[in-house]
Amino acid sequence: MLQRLLAPVLLAALTAGVPAAAQDEPPLDTVMATVGETEITLGHMLVLRGTLPEQYNQIPPDVLFRGVLDQLVRQELLSQSHEGALSQVAQLRLDNEQRAITASEVIGEITGEAVTDEALQTAYDSEYTGAAEETEYRASHILVETEEEAQALVEEIAGGANFAALAQEHSTGPSGPSGGELGWFGAGVMVPEFSEAVTALDVGEVSDPVKTQFGWHVIKLNETRAKEKPALADVRDELADTLRRQALDAHVAQLEANSAVDRSGSDGMDPALINRFDLLEN
């Protein structure tokens, strides 16, 4: 799968500047070099190229092509020169790498089948259609340091003082210069004490002093509205990620239920062992 994904993009990069007649894309098993009886193919080169950091994109294709091929040849020469079995740590790394690559293939198959137009529509309907209507709030506030200051402001507003003017004069918060205006926000976006106070107000009403971790607030609810539901196109990627995750979780759960998985070997072990890299040096 990784080879299939990388091939079109990387082949285009590797053939940049080559005459049109030479730009036919060869198959991945095209042999680029041999080391003894071992073949190094275009596929091997592309997979290695795909692991290189982004700064390698700045290297001219002819230099990069030769460098990748030389690296694979050198690795094969060194590999063939190795005598005996791999070290325990090297074998463990190889085991993990093979496990990860194989698992990645299965993940691609499972998650690729999970995202269909029908599944996306069903997920959208489940998430947004018929869901309880959410309310958004537009409020202003004046933030001061003490309850006494906040109470004095409440009394001034009750006496007819302009809320925005008082916010500009007294508020220590960043919204002070704009008259305390906070714009639109949903329930739960603000700290709990602030959210609770806002949702308890009627439009146009001013709260009593409200204490939060930031200080003392005087809050005015300016307006409310029903939160608009997003279009499917706007949440398609989010829903697709959810479908993939759900499909993978369900598949793994089924595999584990049908397999003899026994984690008892870890019972009683010190969790700090996970950081004992010195054990790999023994």
pLDDT digits (tens, 9 = 90+) for 49-68: 999 999 999 999 999 999 99
pLDDT at position 131: 67
Instruction: State yes or no: pLDDT of 276 exceeds 60.
Output: yes
Confidence (pLDDT) at 275: 93
Q: Which two tokens stand for residue 16?
A: 């940049």
| pLDDT score, position 114 | 94
Residues 6+ apart with CB under 8 A from 158: 206
| pTM listed for this prediction | 0.58
Instruction: Assign 96 a pLDDT band (cuts: 50, 70, 90).
Output: very high
Residue 191 contacts by C-beta under 8 Å, 6 or more apart in sequence? 212, 213, 214
Between CA 82 and CA 97 the distance in angstroms is 20
Q: What is the pLDDT of residues 149-162, one digit of tens each?
A: 999 999 999 999 99
Query: Which residue type is seen at 137?
Result: Y
Dump pLDDT digits (tens) for 173-232.
Answer: 999 999 999 999 998 899 999 999 999 999 999 999 999 999 999 999 999 999 888 899
Q: From 108, 89, 101, 83, select the one nearest 47 (Cα to Cα).
A: 101
Please calculate the CA angle 15-17-21 and round it to the nearest 5 degrees: 70
pLDDT reported for residue 161: 97
Question: Sorting pLDDT into bands at 50, 70 and 90, what band is 234?
Answer: very high
List the structure tokens of 19.
């005459």
Confidence check: pLDDT of 165 > 50? yes
Question: Residues 111-141, buried b or exposed e (16+ Cβ, 10 A)?
Answer: beebbeeebbeebbeeeeeeeeeeebbbbbb
Distance CA 2, CA 104 (A): 9
Residues 226/246, Cβ–Cβ less than 8 Å: no
pLDDT, residue 23, reads 58
Q: Is the pLDDT of residue 243 over 80?
A: yes
Average pLDDT, the chain: 90
- Angle CA 83–87–93, to nearest 5: 120
As a whole number of angstroms, the distance between CA 268 and CA 180 comes to 57
CATH 3.10.50.40 residue window(s) in the chain: 135-226
Q: Which of 51, 7, 50 is nearest to 26 (CA)?
A: 7
Region 19-42: mean pLDDT is: 84
- The CATH class for the domain spanning 135-226 reads alpha beta
Rounded percentage of the chain residues whose pLDDT exceeds 70: 91
